[in-house]
């Protein structure tokens, strides 16, 4: 067996990791299918003005924000904030890219923030009762991300890295 053939399996894992991480910023939103996340989906954008739309009213519960950069280089991040706490965000979206994040919205008022826009803040009003508990798919996803996080921490080391 050649050296190249014996190294192929060891090169496959890092390549798959890079491809998985890169899939979070795609032109089509990076979804895994119609049932990828339980709950509501809302398409929003970032423009030179900031968050588009600047005002939203949504029902409470699990919500996926699909964010598209509509051609601005001044704004590359979309945040949902509860007071000063960022509860969901997607950043590093250069012109034309899309990405998504999911959060469980509770009833109340939130701030939408798209730093760098001419009007960087908007409003999100959430109505309804909210979700009493996460569905089985969401719990599985959370468990999977925690397991991935532990694995990543055990295999990646950097002298300035801190893990909480």
* Residue whose tokens read 């979070």: 24
Ordered structural domains, the chain, with CATH: 24-131 (2.60.40.420)
The predicted pLDDT at position 3 comes to: 55
What sign does the CA torsion over 39, 102, 21, 162 have? negative
* Residue whose tokens read 């949902």: 80
Per-residue pLDDT at 5 exceeds 90: no
Distances (CA, A) of 164 to 149, 153, 154, 161: 11, 10, 13, 10
* Verdict on whether the full-model pTM lies above 0.85: no
Query: How buried is 73 (Cβ within 10 angstroms: 0-12 exposed, 13-18 middle, 19+ buried)?
Result: exposed
Model confidence at 14, in pLDDT bands (50, 70, 90)? very low
Per-residue pLDDT at 164 exceeds 50: no
pLDDT tens-digit readout, 107-141 = 999 999 999 999 999 999 999 986 554 555 555 55
Please choose, from the candidates 115, 127, 123, 143, the residue with its C-alpha nearest in 3D space to the C-alpha of residue 40: 127
């Amino acid at each position: 067996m050649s050296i190249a053939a014996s190294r192929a399996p060891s090169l496959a894992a890092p390549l798959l990791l890079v491809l998985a991480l890169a899939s979070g910023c795609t032109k089509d939103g990076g979804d895994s299918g119609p049932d990828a996340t339980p709950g509501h989906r809302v398409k929003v954008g970032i423009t030179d003005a900031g968050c588009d739309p600047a005002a939203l009213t949504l029902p409470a519960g699990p919500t996926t924000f699909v964010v598209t950069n509509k051609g601005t280089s001044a704004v590359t991040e979309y945040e949902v904030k509860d007071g000063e706490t960022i509860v969901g965000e997607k950043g590093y979206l250069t012109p034309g890219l899309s990405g998504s994040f999911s959060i469980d919205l509770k009833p109340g008022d939130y701030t939408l923030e798209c730093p760098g826009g001419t009007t960087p803040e908007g409003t999100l009003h959430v109505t309804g009762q909210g979700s009493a508990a996460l569905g089985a798919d969401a719990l599985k996803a959370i468990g999977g991300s925690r397991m991935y996080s532990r694995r990543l921490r055990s295999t990646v080391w950097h002298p300035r890295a801190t893990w909480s």
